[in-house]
Amino acid sequence: MATRLASIFSPVRSPTSAPAHLLHRTLPSFSNRRAHPSQPRMSSSSAASSAPPAAAAAAGGEKPAVAPYGSWRSPITADVVSGADRRLGGIALAGDGRLLWIEGRPEEKGRMVIVKEEDNPVDVIPQEFAARTLAQEYGGGAFAVDKSVVVFSNYKDQRLYKQTIGIGAPPVPLTPDYGAPSVSYADGVFDPHFSRYVTVMEDRRKDSLNPTTTIAAVDLSGSDVHEPKVLISGNDFYAFPRIDQSKKRMAWIEWSHPNMPWDKSELWVGYFAENGDLTKRVCIAGGNPLLVESPSEPKWSPKGELFFVTDRGSGFWNIYKWVEQTNEIVPVYSLDAEFTTPLWVFGISSYDFLGNSNHIVFSYRQQGRSHLGVLDCDSASVSLLDTPFSDLSDVVAADDYFYVGGASASIPRSIAKVTLNESKTKVVNFSIVWSSSPDLVQYRPFFSTPELVEFPTSKPGQKAYAYFYPPSNPNFQGLADEKPPLLVKTHGGPTAETRAILDLNVQYWTSRGWAYVDVNYGGSTGYGREYRERLLDKWGIVDVDDCCSCARFLVESGKVDGQRLCITGRSAGGYTTLASLAFRDMFKAGASLYGVGDLTLLRAETHKFESHYMDNLVGNERAYYERSPINFVNQFTCPVILFQGLEDKVVPPDQARKIYNALKEKGLPVALVEYEGEQHGFRKAENIKFTLEQMMVFFARLVGKFEVADDITPIKIENFD
């Protein structure tokens, strides 16, 4: 399984064993298309036969058993969670109007597979290939399709390959073999004018920490492999090369240090000469030093008009259009809402054009919820569409239908096909074509429904937001004189947003009697630029204060036990976790997953994309020192468990080791789990399972005052066992 270093020693004790069982329930009312054959499924007969007596009793109206919070038996086991943690890596439409998507499979060690929608979905690429790019470390935009031809980035060697759907031939390499996966490609598109593939290219051959990023063209006209031809270079970063199908021109986004793309970026248009080179170039948006904006997602309409999203003026990402004749930027639809998300990964698609009509299908975020609509550009009228999704992601459109990624508090991350009426104003059919967890419906009685919480921050008159999940299990109720323990989740980024969607990583805790809160601290996205910029120069202060304020609010509201408050987070959320433990006295234990302990070390060692990110979030050298938890280990007062991938290039493993060794020397209970073959985020099912179980039993032993019902062998905890 995983290599377990420094902390995983001999087993300590084994809590009371309790077998996990499954319940079967009917499917939701909307249509649920057949899942891909590789997705685990359970027949209704086998599920029903394994239903535990307590569940059957509860279903029959008998009174739930009374047991301490945290000790409840749940069918949502760590095995179920790890097997359901399928990732969605992008969507696109093939020439026949069918959907292609990338799914990550934990049971195949996180392999990213391109799949095509059929009555029985089929894998497009062979078993020995995986569609994943390492561009900017976080990747995205790993494939594109034109009719029946797919171009994708292969994970192992990072080369581009061409695969024709349905002919059974192996993929054909398009880019040179440099002897190592040192050149990555992302966010590519087919160029109809010059028979080539235009893509962002990241070249790490000369400097892995400061690679050269360009927009390059890869020849598709012959069978020989050629060196990519650089079209645009000179800036630090590029994204969204998008080519007008009707004219020889291209739009793109670029930005430079120290900005992140959501701080300040520029939208450009360039015109192709007859030989395919870019000649005339025009900055469309972002070039005015008096107007701070971050344009994103440029797209050419079927009529050859350039649309894009930017946050000029209002501070909210809205849809705009460029009028070429007058070189004007005009708003298309204005709302105090976010019509895109931060460019952490390539290939974001928050809106699209419905065929050759002048209609745009779009999604936006407002006050913690996603909305879906269609804009008639001729009449400027907007029709909001009703679907079961309350959270939306990428959208790709055909003539009278489109596909959209989405989820809700009761629906896991999915892709739906949405068919519209003739006027494109109403949904006439909604069907799920892919689900990250197709069998979750059987656990519905155990799901905790999130409550949107608006709580006061430490700044008078200011509010922040969170989603609170109360304990929920039909077979158990807590003791009359007891409040549940609380796990506070701090999201990563930190320029990101947590969303109220069905996540078994949350339900694992709540179905065992924990309360769980997911905090959108100041600096989170989804609430406009002003809210997002609360964190500028204040990372490690505002986020920490907001997480503590949220926990305090829930204690004072009588919802949770103030003596059993725990905190966890991944990546930047791991930093907020460690900072909360070092600089505040609110929490009794914490779990950091590949979190940052030393801001100065992170700045020196992290990858190019984020190498100046913290300069805006932290500030001067003194702040770097004073907000690094590693420098204040003497202020930690409670147990900590750390989980780390050994191939992490974003937060190098030395960060976790330094925290572990320092806490061990101080005499605090501490454990460190390291995983071979894992990068920034765990993809292997066995490691996802192990992390969840060990975090649960760590908190139970050191804070919980209860024994877990699951049969988990704890790892050794230094200064405790």
pLDDT at 343: 96
Q: How far apart are the first and last CA of the chain?
A: 24
pLDDT at 87: 85
pLDDT at 683: 80
Categorize the per-residue pLDDT at 12 as very low, low, confident or very high, splitting at 50, 70 and 90.
Answer: very low
- Look at residue 308 and give its three-state secondary structure: strand
pLDDT at 85: 66
pLDDT at 684: 85
Is the per-residue pLDDT at 650 higher than 90? no
Is the per-residue pLDDT at 4 higher than 60? no
What pTM does this model have? 0.87
Structural domain spans, the chain: 349-439, 442-703
Per-chain mean pLDDT for the chain: 89
pLDDT in tens, 121-175: 999 999 999 999 999 999 999 999 999 999 999 999 999 999 999 888 999 999 9
pLDDT at 60: 54
Task: Find residue 153's DSSP bridge partners.
Answer: 160
Residues 6+ apart with CB under 8 A from 108: none
Alpha helices in 590-671 (DSSP H): 599-605, 613-617, 621-626, 654-666
- Is residue 461 left, alpha or beta, with left meaning phi > 0 and alpha meaning psi from -120 to 50? left
- As a whole number, mean pLDDT of residues 472-500 equals 96
- As a whole number, mean pLDDT of residues 270-299 equals 95
Residues 6+ apart with CB under 8 A from 604: none
pLDDT in tens, 223-249: 889 999 999 999 999 999 999 998 999
Give rounded-to-5 percent helix, strand, coil for the chain: 20, 30, 50
pLDDT at 262: 97
Is the per-residue pLDDT at 40 higher than 50? no
Structure tokens at 589: 């234990």
Please state the φ and ψ torsions of residue 283, each to the nearest 5 degrees: -85, 120
CA distance 131 to 203: 18
- Look at residue 574 and give its three-state secondary structure: helix
Is the per-residue pLDDT at 35 higher than 80? no
Torsion of CA 346, 347, 349, 355, to 10 degrees: 160
Burial track 561-583 (b if 16+ CB lie within 10 A, e otherwise): beebbbbbbbbbbbbbbbbbbbb
CATH topology of domain 442-703: Rossmann fold (3.40.50)
Q: Which helix (H) or strand (E) holds 578?
A: helix 572-583
CA distance 399 to 395: 13
Taking the mean position of all CA atoms in its chain, how far away is CA 598?
24
Is the per-residue pLDDT at 41 higher than 80? no
Q: Mean pLDDT check: name the lowest of 430-439, 552-561, 564-573.
A: 430-439
Compute CA distances 244 → 293, 304, 557, 669, 676, whole Å. Answer: 24, 6, 56, 60, 44
- Look at residue 190 and give its three-state secondary structure: strand
pLDDT in tens, 169-215: 999 999 999 999 999 999 999 999 999 999 999 999 999 889 999 99
- As a whole number, mean pLDDT of residues 473-500 equals 96
pLDDT in tens, 79-122: 998 876 688 999 999 999 999 999 998 888 889 999 999 989 99
187, exposed or middle or buried, with CB in 10 Å at 0-12, 13-18, 19+? buried
pLDDT at 655: 87
